[in-house]
Structure 1
Amino acid sequence: MRTKDSDAKEVVTQIKNQELVKERRRQIVDAAVPLFIEHGYHKTTTRLLAKATGLSIGTMYDYISTKEDVLYLVCMAIFSEVEHGVKEALARPLRGKDALAEVIREYFLVCDKMSDHVLLMYQVTQFLSPKWQKKVLEAEINITDLFIEAMHQIRSTGTLPELDDDTINLMGHNISILGHSWTFRRWYFAKHFTIESYIAQQTDFIMNFLDSKKEPV
């Protein structure tokens, strides 16, 4: 699986300092998301974007080439946060369902923290060129693959032996969708659930499904 760093390098820059590139691009992404939501993607000018970032237009274009690049970097920012959260969860001294519950929790917290980013990604993907649309879809699958790989890793410890490959694949996609559901329907869910209660109930739902897959003793 490709990493977030190799994917981000698809966006051309002449700056050699990769840490500075990462910092400036995150600055641009965080400024762009509320602008795109407020004004719409097409009506957000490069002048508005540069002003929001605190960079000159010329400096901003040292790190991106087009507005399309920014949308792609929004997607990469989401993947970066998810990858970091999942890896942290897997590093904790937990096993079996407790380890899986931590992975789910970290992912849902990222979806909550980056709700605007996730929503924007789905709203504007249709405006991207075929090249970037393909990259965004690949990044979405990469996120799901993180959960699939995490469950394979947990299964290898012998603590979730009942999970076959098809179940793991299905649950990886279900976890991804349930996290995004908090973003898509937050206008409703936020009235009835905190993010913590949402995590608890959806985790119970997933675990009950896994219990149903156990072979009879």
Structure 2
Amino acid sequence: MQKKNVPSMVKDQQLIQRRREQMIKGAVHLFKQKGFHRTTTREIAKQSGFSIGTLYEYIGSKEDVLYLVCDSVYDEVRRRLEADMDMQQSGISRLRAMISSFFHIMNEMQDEVLVMYQEAKSLPKEALPYVLEKEEEMTAIFEGAIHECRKKGELKLSGNEMRLLAHNIMVCGQMWTFRRWSLHNEFSLEDYTAMQLRQLLAGVQTADVEKVE
């Protein structure tokens, strides 16, 4: 799926990136408070620190801003997750570390993640498939790690079960954001992560791995 081309009157790519980063930060703040539809481009410009005229030098519409928010969030989550992956680890140890890292990233980026999932329905029809594909790519990172565990004999899962576990990991990370109004009052992030790891891997680890733990 091809990335959407967001129009810009400016040719300097570094300046475009810098201005759009300001725009994304301002938009997340406003979308969280007011929602996408109740936020105006003039408010986004003001929150971003420049005029409405300057805003339209870097985008074509308010929907472009929402697209940039979603695209940026996925890229940042993936960048952080890949940066945290310890290539010296392997198998179940690596999978556990990835899940823990993902939960911590969701905690650190909870405003951005919440806005993205709440407002993605307002994306232009041609842009939504691209964003959904990025969600699939994120899930595939975990599916690959799970597949490695099965090859090493550490997990006993069928092909469909591996894919389902990858989706469950994604949902559990996102739940820390979506249910934070309740979860944050009951669990620390460390407790939540430990409990989810037990539940996600219960019954799918081989006996040898369970003995080691």
Query: Fold conserved (TM > 0.5)?
Result: yes
3-state SS of 1:55 partner: coil
**Corresponding residue for residue 60 of structure 2:** 65
Q: Extract structure 1 runs of 4+ deviating beyond 6 A.
A: none
Q: In 1, are the aligned partners of 2:139 and 2:170 still within 8 Å (CA)? A: yes
Distance 2:72 2:207 in 1: 35
> One-letter code of the match for 1:27?
Q
**Corresponding residue for residue 197 of structure 1:** 191
Distance 2:16 2:148 in 1: 33
Percent identity over the alignment is 37
Residue 146 of structure 2 corresponds to residue 145 of structure 1: no
Structure 1 pair 63/207, CA: closer, same or farther in 2 (3 Å)? same
**Corresponding residue for residue 84 of structure 1:** 79
* Unmatched segments (≥5 aa) in structure 2: 209-213
Which stretch of the first structure deviates more once superposed, 96-105 or 141-150?
141-150
Which stretch of the first structure deviates more once superposed, 71-80 or 121-130?
121-130
Q: How many residues matched?
A: 208
Task: Please give the residue correspondences for 1:1-217 in structure 2 after superposition, counting only pairs within 5 Å.
Answer: 7=3, 10-153=5-148, 158=152, 160=154, 162-211=156-205
> One-letter code of the match for 1:48?
E
Q: In 2, are the aligned partners of 1:95 and 1:159 still within 8 Å (CA)? A: no
* Unmatched segments (≥5 aa) in structure 1: none
Structure 1 pair 162/82, CA: closer, same or farther in 2 (3 Å)? same
> One-letter code of the match for 1:94?
Q
Which stretch of the first structure deviates more once superposed, 76-85 or 187-196?
76-85
Q: Give the TM-score, by structure 1 length.
A: 0.83
